[in-house]
Amino acid sequence: MKEFRPDLILSLGFGGALHEGLAAGELVRASRIIFLRGEPKDSLSPQTSDISLPEPNLTDFPGRSMSLREGCIVTLEHPMTKPEIRNILPDGIPFPVCDMETFALATTAVRSQIPFFAVRAITDTSYQEIPREVFDLIDSSGKTSYARLLISVLKKPGLVKTLIWLGLNSEKAAKSLGDLVKSVLESEAILCRE
């Protein structure tokens, strides 16, 4: 941030819906970001941090033609189940979506006084729980370990059904994000020609 100061930090990614009302592939723009620290066992005394983002001027946002729900991104320090997260969150949060990275980016943007715009595409709805075994399939480089996948499926064959719906939902979410990026790039290209 010291050498290159962007006009905007745009954070796009995937997230899981924590309450009803969001379908796979829908886009949620964060107006608030909450960070949940600690392990699930610490849910009796959770540590949270909260950032409310300034209302963006969406008329200046190149992707404004896309349908975005305004909501809250809940960044987790460690994987937690949706019931564990819901037990910690205060009531009345509109369209909460969980992920594991947004809070750090938002903190950097706010400290640097750079406008921050975060959008998450829904991969798992409020009633779809990603089993902890799925998180174990990812190696330290962030790639799927096929050896771990084979072992997990042999131990728990029902995991195949979960991986199928997660794959289908992720495809919808990726398409929505792709459409948003395309909208942003097309808008920027038009602005550059003017």
pLDDT tens-place string over residues 146-187: 898 999 999 999 999 999 999 999 999 999 999 999 888 877
Residue 110 in domain: yes
Residue 57 in domain: yes
Q: How many domains does the chain have?
A: 1
Q: CB of 9 within 8 A of CB of 117?
A: yes
| Mean pLDDT of the region 59-73 | 73
Residue 107 in domain: yes
Question: Residue 64: is its pLDDT beyond 70?
Answer: no
Residue 94 in domain: yes
Residue 89 in domain: yes
Among candidate residues 35, 75, 32, 73, the one with its CA nearest the CA of residue 56: 32
Question: Cβ atoms within 10 A of the Cβ of 62, count?
Answer: 19
CATH number of 125's domain: 3.40.50
Q: What range defines the domain where residue 75 resides?
A: 9-193
Average pLDDT of the chain, as a whole number:
84
pLDDT in tens, 76-103: 888 888 998 888 888 889 999 999 899 9
Residue 30 in domain: yes
Whether the model clears a pTM of 0.75, i.e. scores above it, the answer is: yes
Percent of the chain with pLDDT over 70: 84
Residue 17 in domain: yes
Res 102: pLDDT: 92
Residue 33 in domain: yes
Q: CB of 16 within 8 A of CB of 82?
A: yes
